Amino acid sequence: MATLSSLGVGSGLDAESIVKSLVALERKPAETIAATNTKLETKVSTWGKVQSAFSSLQDAAAALNKNDFWTATKATSSDSTAVSVTTGAATATGSYNVTVQSLASSQYLASTPFANKSAAVGEGTLTIKIGSYTSDNAVPPVVTFNAKSAASEYEIAIGPDDNTLEKIRDKINSANAGVTASLVNDVTGTRLVLAGTSGAENAFQISVSENPAAPGLSKLAYDASTGGTSQMSRTQAASNAQATINGLSVSSASNTMTDIVEGLTLQLNKVSASPASITVTQDTESIRKGIDTFVSAYNNVVSTIRVQTKYDPDSKTAGALQGDSTARSLLTQIRDLVGANSGASSVFGRLTDIGMDIKVDGTISVNSTKLTSTMGNLTELKKFFANSDVNNSGNNGMSQRIAAMTKQVLDPDGAISSRTASIKSLIDDNKDKIERIDLRVASVENRLRAQYSALDSTMTKLNGLSSYVTAQLAGLNNNNK
């Protein structure tokens, strides 16, 4: 028997619409649950924002708890073209007059010109020794080379495959011998140029052992000591930087002098006829910036929770966390914490003492003038924020207490993670419910379609029988006329 192409053809009913309406009604609970999940997912996302806000506050508090935060210094130079300066964590405040007598330099050697970079030089062994050249007071002076150590001696074999100028350059560079090789081209040809590291103790000597069958490598020999053999020319000698700091002579192999004054880095840029005045002062700007960052991070936590837990009567909308007891508890905890008195400092006990007021909405407003004045006593201000007392938590500073709280809140087993996990569990349970409802709805739809299909078949048969009976009756009437 032919099958029906659409429900209702046989019965004349709009069976397809009937089935769809009944199926939609059956699936209504799933849609309600899905809408609930959408709200729950918004809560998860919102808790992510709260977690991010607490994480920023934790970082800001940790910064204030570091000792070097409160000892930060900055330095200025009256002549940065001669001497520039930077400070470190251990730099003490003070003033220094720095005069530069000479800059550190590296030894430079240049070979005689060759035709080009592919010119064959010769074969054998180059031995590079790192050390220093010294001279005595004899007339003429006797110059002696003093190697640093056996470890500062490098042998570089030059074979038939390595004997061109460019390949010798590459072999020297790959030896990591403390000497850098390069090629210089001009109208006279191509020359091999060797440069050492700056400092008198980083000069170098080059001895050559030639292969008699392929001579020529001795053109790269250099020894400035008395009686030494040199075929390369020294264009610059290795020397130390020389300077005076407050009248004290100092020397350095580099033009960057680190920790000659503890924590201070001096960059010598040029020889100076007059001293550059270096002034190291407390970096109150960076301290103020750190405190402002802390306040901003705290305010962000409070504002984020308040916005997400309040109801707006004008728009008649509620925040994603309205009615959430965990969110309300966190807000109460942090507001109580910053509002409490502290025994950390004998001078500053509350936020108001340092120029900070807690507003009605729980955020902190800063009286810039008062805070600037408070920073005149950094010792006590540091205690107010960063003091740590393992025996009495009431003497802990503000940032220490905030750090402890945020650690608990952000812990994997803390309030935010636990609340988020609980919501995600509800979402998963709801997804399971929706899946079960969908299975049931699919079964109902199959049953309804089977029932209406059977109805269509039955109605088709009845309609056919009705047409047959009608035709027979019509025939009888015609025969009786």
pLDDT over 60 at 381, yes or no: yes
pLDDT over 80 at 208, yes or no: yes
Tokens 């009976």, residue located? 469
Q: Do 80 and 150 share a domain, yes or no?
A: no
CATH number at residue 121: 3.30.70
Supply 57's token pair. 């506050």
What does the pLDDT read at residue 12? Answer: 56
Please give the helix or strand (H or E) that residue 130 lies within, else none. Answer: strand 124-135
Peptide bond preceding 313 in cis form (omega within 30 of 0): no
Instruction: Report if residue 49 sits inside a domain.
Output: yes
Can you give the residue range of the structural domain that contains 156? 108-236
Q: How far apart are CA 333 and CA 327, in angstroms?
A: 10
Q: How far apart are CA 365 and CA 381, in angstroms?
A: 17
pLDDT more than 90, % of the chain = 74
| pLDDT single digits (tens) 279-296 | 999 999 999 999 999 999
Instruction: Report if residue 456 sits inside a domain.
Output: no
Alpha-carbon torsion 329, 335, 341, 343, what sign?
positive
Instruction: Report if residue 480 sits inside a domain.
Output: no
Q: How far apart are CA 457 and CA 340, in angstroms?
A: 82
| pLDDT single digits (tens) 317-347 | 888 999 999 999 999 999 999 999 989 999 9
Q: Do 147 and 222 share a domain, yes or no?
A: yes
| pLDDT single digits (tens) 109-159 | 999 999 999 999 999 999 999 999 999 988 889 999 999 887 789 999 999
Instruction: Report if residue 388 sits inside a domain.
Output: yes
Please report, as a single letter, which amino acid is at residue 300.
N
What does the pLDDT read at residue 207? Answer: 96
Q: Do 169 and 230 share a domain, yes or no?
A: yes
Instruction: Report if residue 297 sits inside a domain.
Output: yes
Q: Do 268 and 290 share a domain, yes or no?
A: no
Q: Do 206 and 259 share a domain, yes or no?
A: no
Peptide bond preceding 275 in cis form (omega within 30 of 0): no
Q: Do 99 and 114 share a domain, yes or no?
A: no
Q: Do 134 and 191 share a domain, yes or no?
A: yes
| pLDDT single digits (tens) 5-21 | 455 444 556 777 888 88
Backbone angles phi, psi at 432, to 5 degrees: -65, -40
DSSP state of 105: B
Number of domains in the chain: 3
**Confidence bin at 298 (pLDDT 50/70/90):** very high
Q: Do 226 and 299 share a domain, yes or no?
A: no
| pLDDT single digits (tens) 442-460 | 888 888 888 877 777 777 6
Instruction: Report if residue 13 sits inside a domain.
Output: no
What does the pLDDT read at residue 361? Answer: 92
Q: Do 120 and 96 share a domain, yes or no?
A: no
Whether residue 356 contacts residue 324, with contact meaning beta carbons closer than 8 Å, is answered with no
